[in-house]
Structure 1
């Protein structure tokens, strides 16, 4: 028995649901597919309403935005079955036996969480998308063998199957209303609960590649979340590479220096990152600089933009 849960915002998810529905029927399983739009009030939802015409499929648009964490919790609360499969709405199913591979009895019975992985397209046609695409291909697209070597740290929450009772032990932190790192906190809490995690090679394709400027904005939001999680002592800094580096700088009182360089150079770095050949090294420098700048009093930093 499988509940497939799809959080969306302003996106036509009907083609994805149609494919998931087809594969679920072919797999002869008891299933449901639940989609919730997070208050986009988009005209696209007229197309998404067609989901309700499919057997065991349900689409609900929310009147107001509640955030991804709350939307995922809401989806789980509406699920009827013991196995929850979370998949983001901008995913593309690239394997004909995708659903069947997830519901393999051996896989489901012996673990609590299964992560199938993700891949990005081999090419991207717009130079405006190069940063997100390059980061995805280089950092996020890992085989199951590589992911299993660091089972909790490499766990993401798109294309993830989890037992409902395990999900309910943790849930997503609804204080995190911005994009990003809500799944990092979930993975950390899963490690504290000793939930059994397995990584398999059953990827979806991340098809909706953000433009570089939008991606950078989302990354800043995610670092805001990570900073909040850290300030509230909800996570071990060693669990997240960039947070471990931030605490190293803080320990030796270098975070002020890094933050000052970020304030001085961020416009130049930004131009490079939105170029046709963005540097991931400079992207990491931009990220750690932004994180270090968050907890500095602005009056103590030299800001050439003021």
Structure 2
């Protein structure tokens, strides 16, 4: 069984991640390859990562950014493994047996096609300007294993997952999704519709590259725009029913609350943003902020 480690790279120094993976591959004599595809990073980061050209099996440089979905699909053209292991470029390996943990799980569960390993951030709060993104990761993203198992498809993320190549060839990421947000959910819902199980294990990747609050709120706005685009697509809208924000949006619409919500958002938007960018952001206010954006940007 061969594993292809697939790392999409964009404006990040990926050397430490690659060298840690190579060390484990060599120490445990693992049958694995490392493939990097750079999604049109700036020249500075291309120079930083250029030393990896001769250290990995393939390093593909794209001249035009193609986005989070299409770049993952592109790995199918370059990989030789039976399984593809996708890792975000800003992740850090925290176990010397990271790859081996996946292999051992597959050895005991040969019928499994998709495995998500999980993620974590620092237990200590970062500087004030990073608090919002850190708190969201702690409370909403980095769930313990048992909670992930309870909702395996909703808990799936793309930062650290393994998938059988023959399955990925049939169920790719939706190439029409260009904006940030929810491409992992659509992918997992496609797996759910096909009754392909998503298994969860504790094989965490560490991530401390949390955005500052203003940058994260811009990403939140982009993710809302993505959600609205999907809502207007008949093939995608049915896959959004389990999203908490989607449920709140549809419920408010059915009750005729669009204009009251818009009026309230007009008066309280600054208050919500002030709280979210404070030292003690309230994630319930983030939910209200997203809902307000949904109505403002909806047609």
TM-score by length of 2: 0.94
Please state if 1:87 is matched with 2:90.
no
From 284, 290, 298, the equivalent of 1:295 is 298
Offset of residue 106 of structure 1: 3.0
Please state if 1:211 is matched with 2:212.
yes
Offset of residue 108 of structure 1: 5.4
Which has the higher mean CA deviation after the structures are superposed, 130-139 or 69-78? 69-78
SS in 1 for 2:17: helix
Task: Provide the residue aligned with 1:4 in structure 2.
Answer: 5
Please state if 1:65 is matched with 2:68.
no
Task: Provide the residue aligned with 1:128 in structure 2.
Answer: 129
CA, structure 1 residues 242+14, in 2 after alignment: closer, same or farther (shift >3 Å)? Answer: same
CA, structure 1 residues 260+37, in 2 after alignment: closer, same or farther (shift >3 Å)? Answer: farther
From 233, 248, 254, the equivalent of 1:251 is 254
Cα distance in 2 for residues equivalent to 1:256 and 1:195: 41
Cα distance in 2 for residues equivalent to 1:288 and 1:94: 36
Cα distance in 2 for residues equivalent to 1:108 and 1:4: 20
Aligned ranges for residues 224-243 of structure 1 at < 5 Å?
224-233=225-234, 234=236, 235-243=238-246
Cα distance in 2 for residues equivalent to 1:274 and 1:150: 30
Aligned ranges for residues 109-188 of structure 1 at < 5 Å?
109-188=110-189
* Stretches of structure 1 lacking an aligned partner (at least 5 in a row): 297-306
Which has the higher mean CA deviation after the structures are superposed, 193-202 or 249-258? 249-258
Offset of residue 198 of structure 1: 0.5
RMSD: 1.5
1:37-59 CA distance string (max 9 Å, x none) = 211233121121211222x4322
Task: Work out whether residues 272 and 279 of structure 1, in 8 Å CA contact, stay in contact via their aligned partners in 2.
Answer: yes
SS in 1 for 2:279: coil
Offset of residue 229 of structure 1: 1.3
1:282-305 CA distance string (max 9 Å, x none) = 111101111122214xxxxxxxxx
Cα distance in 1 for residues equivalent to 2:250 and 2:77: 37
SS in 2 for 1:145: helix
Task: Provide the residue aligned with 1:222 in structure 2.
Answer: 223
CA, structure 1 residues 243+279, in 2 after alignment: closer, same or farther (shift >3 Å)? Answer: same
Task: Provide the residue aligned with 2:198 in structure 1.
Answer: 197
Task: Provide the residue aligned with 2:97 in structure 1.
Answer: 97
CA, structure 1 residues 108+40, in 2 after alignment: closer, same or farther (shift >3 Å)? Answer: farther
* Stretches of structure 2 lacking an aligned partner (at least 5 in a row): none
Cα distance in 1 for residues equivalent to 2:36 and 2:123: 28
Task: Provide the residue aligned with 1:25 in structure 2.
Answer: 26
1:136-171 CA distance string (max 9 Å, x none) = 011111122111111111111110001111112121
Cα distance in 2 for residues equivalent to 1:229 and 1:41: 30
Aligned residues: 295
CA, structure 1 residues 45+108, in 2 after alignment: closer, same or farther (shift >3 Å)? Answer: farther
Task: Provide the residue aligned with 1:36 in structure 2.
Answer: 37
Cα distance in 2 for residues equivalent to 1:263 and 1:74: 42
Task: Provide the residue aligned with 1:53 in structure 2.
Answer: 54
Offset of residue 107 of structure 1: 5.1
CA, structure 1 residues 137+119, in 2 after alignment: closer, same or farther (shift >3 Å)? Answer: same
TM-score by length of 1: 0.92
Offset of residue 24 of structure 1: 1.9
Task: Provide the residue aligned with 1:280 in structure 2.
Answer: 283
